[in-house]
Structure 1
Amino acid sequence: MSENLLSLIGKENESLLSHVCKTIPKEQLHLPSPDFVDNVFSISNRNPQVLRNLQSMYGHGRLANTGYVSILPVDQGIEHSAGASFAANPMYFDPENIVKLAIEGGCNAVATTIGALGIVSRKYAHKIPFIVKLNHNELLSYPNKAEQIMFGSVKDAWNLGAAAVGATVYFGSDDATREIVEVAKVFEQAHELGMATILWCYLRNNAFKKDGVDYHVSADLTGQANHIGTTIQADIIKQKLPENNGGYKVLNTGNSSYGKLDERIYTELTSDNPIDLCRYQVINCYNGRAGLINSGGASSGASDKKQAVLTAIINKRAGGTGLISGRKAFQRPFNEGVEMLNAIQDVYLDKTVTIA
């Protein structure tokens, strides 16, 4: 690994670079490669137009033809409110600057709302692959609620030149059943029209926080969310990096009866190492046939680059497909945002960062 990246992650994290995964061996995974679309999707039910659009994403930007992706997602104007998201950098109230950041940052694709991409589509749809995020949880209703609703149609996404559509399901929420059915139908329509599909597989339930621990980022629960996401034919799965494990165990105590588990999830298929926890997410994406991209998380200031690089190292060494990082890039000056995206991409370009 380059001296620059080594100095960035700190000596306390160097063990991540030498860890050997003893849970699921890398030989069992479908790993990112220059011919990933040919190897995985050419034998699937995806039609030639879907294959072309998948390849357009895998073949664009600084990570072109490596099998890895770096995506800029900016849907926070709806999900977190525009003022709260863009006050740090008001230039991004104008969606053209979102697309410019993705292009200058060397991203494989840009993911944002149907309105934001539609307003600039004729200028940029042929310059960088578009991912239209179709549903959102808006925070203007009082009181706030966790419910993903459609803001646009598959046909509109196709008309504006999108290479892919994205959607979120809040697994575990009261609204999850409707969202699963709705998004499954949307993904079917997208594939029929030749667009790829990306699912934000997020957990959402207040009960998932217990005794001061947030099991929304538990490997066992997020892994199952990923498995459901691949079942409704997501081509790429977006998931938060796991930070703990044992969500099923903790929630299935006392008088509650929640889910099913096998103790080998914890004794054989995972360990406490963050790379092994992330690998459990990968195997739940059909052993990597659907690429796992982890989210970059919130911006917290000076430590952002270090945290983004560590997330990229964990994702890559686990067998993941890349990072989808937004706030760490657009909530800072434009040039620094480009540098942030490039730092993430450098991990995937560094051949010394190997699969564990």
Structure 2
Amino acid sequence: MSLNKIQDLLGDKAEYYLGHTCTTISKDSIHLPAPGHIDNVWTQSNRNIQTIRSISAIADHGRLGGSGYVSILPVDQGIEHSGGASFAPNPIYFDPENIVKLAIEGGCNAVASTYGVLGSVARKYAHKIPFIVKVNHNEFISYPNKFDQIMFGTIKDAWNMGAAGIGATIYFGSDESARQIVEVAKAFEYAHELGMATVLWCYLRNGSFKKDGVDYHTAADLTGQANHLGVTIQADIIKQKLPTNNGGYNAINFGKTSKLVYDKLTTDHPIDLCRYQVANCYMGRVGLINSGGESKGATDMAEAVMTAVVNKRAGGMGLISGRKAFQKPMAEGVQLLNAIQDVYLDSSVTIA
């Protein structure tokens, strides 16, 4: 996909996204994604040799292999949202093999899914594309609904099926978050011991994070702190929603922050808000991947490209997009994944 096509998809917002200069946190202070990122960053860390090899396996696979950027297909929505809600638009994805095929055909660095999905086809595909096994879920069938992440399977089973990494979610801010932090920290420790990479879905969940009609679950200051907690328990990659606003601490009037976060370190521009998320990932030492969000149909391609542009120009590591890809015919899903990857392969889309 050419730069002209990227500009066309961004429409009248093309200059807003592609021409923005970040004057908050300098790009020079960010450990930017690059071919030498693993040698320059991870070999200095406490990660063991097997874990570094697993991180490398993910980084070196697919169309973005060796670039420093990643494109991951996540399909855990069958549990998180229900199989019907996820796969009714395209029932072929009730079959786990088609999920893995989409990731392969789409040129992804890795496929992230459940124990059941990846375990059912592990012998056929674990050596063909890196597996990231999602180890906890919000099962979402209890009534009334509750929002909690509970563990599925074991870390050893993920290793036995040949996974390159494990993934987990923590609902930061929820009543259950303290337990989840301990559970996931222990799971990540064991995964690293066995030589697997770790990916953390750093999501916020608290009814009080909605104030005066504004939803601060995707506020830059709150999601940034969630990221900071995530890297503290040694996630190797942080998955976070793209920030849509800021000022959660002030609006909800809790916790501690600094006026400088709003006056100096952020503006209201999406790239600057995302840059603050990157800063909270140890200034990019740990890669930030933003999620693609729900499928809305005709606007999916434009939204995916916009998210990729914001993430890349902020200093992020890539995109993890699921529903926009698998809730449509496979050929269209491949096209969307390739469009995302083209943003990261285009050298004219630079760090802001």
What's the TM-score, normalizing by structure 1? 0.98
- 2:169 alignment counterpart: 168
Q: Does 1:350 align with 2:346?
A: yes
Which amino acid in the other structure matches residue 352 of structure 1? Answer: S
Residue 20 of structure 1 deviates from its aligned partner by 0.8
- 2:267 alignment counterpart: 271
Partners in 1 of 2:12 and 2:344 — Cα distance?
20
Which amino acid in the other structure matches residue 286 of structure 1? Answer: Y
Q: Is the 8 A contact 2:59 2:65 kept in 1?
A: yes
Residues 235-271 of structure 1 show CA distances to partners (whole Å, capped at 9, x for unaligned) of 000000000000000000xxxxx21010000000100
> Of residues 302, 306, 328 in structure 2, which corresponds to 1:306?
302
Residue 14 of structure 1 deviates from its aligned partner by 2.1
Kindly, what percent of the aligned residue pairs are identical?
70
Q: Is the 8 A contact 2:33 2:68 kept in 1?
A: yes
- 1:183 alignment counterpart: 184
Correspondences of 1:147-296 after superposition (within 5 Å): 147-252=148-253, 258-296=254-292
> Of residues 326, 344, 349 in structure 2, which corresponds to 1:330?
326
Residues 86-121 of structure 1 show CA distances to partners (whole Å, capped at 9, x for unaligned) of 000000000000000000000000000011100100
What's the TM-score, normalizing by structure 2? 0.99
Residue 2 of structure 1 deviates from its aligned partner by 1.5
Residue 11 of structure 1 deviates from its aligned partner by 2.1
Q: Could you say what secondary structure the match of 1:243 adopts?
A: coil
Stretches of structure 2 that go unaligned for 5 or more consecutive residues are none
Which amino acid in the other structure matches residue 313 of structure 2? Answer: R
Partners in 1 of 2:146 and 2:261 — Cα distance?
32
| Count of residue pairs brought into register by the alignment | 351
Partners in 1 of 2:171 and 2:18 — Cα distance?
33
Which amino acid in the other structure matches residue 318 of structure 1? Answer: A
Q: Does 1:128 align with 2:129?
A: yes
Residues 102-146 of structure 1 show CA distances to partners (whole Å, capped at 9, x for unaligned) of 000000000000111001000000000000000000111111111
Partners in 2 of 1:114 and 1:45 — Cα distance?
27
- 2:37 alignment counterpart: 36
What do you get for the CA RMSD once the two structures are aligned?
0.6
Partners in 2 of 1:11 and 1:63 — Cα distance?
28
Partners in 2 of 1:37 and 1:133 — Cα distance?
23
Residue 12 of structure 1 deviates from its aligned partner by 2.6
Q: Is the 8 A contact 2:8 2:14 kept in 1?
A: no
Residues 53-83 of structure 1 show CA distances to partners (whole Å, capped at 9, x for unaligned) of 1000000000010000000000000000001
Residue 207 of structure 1 deviates from its aligned partner by 0.8
Q: Does 1:60 align with 2:61?
A: yes
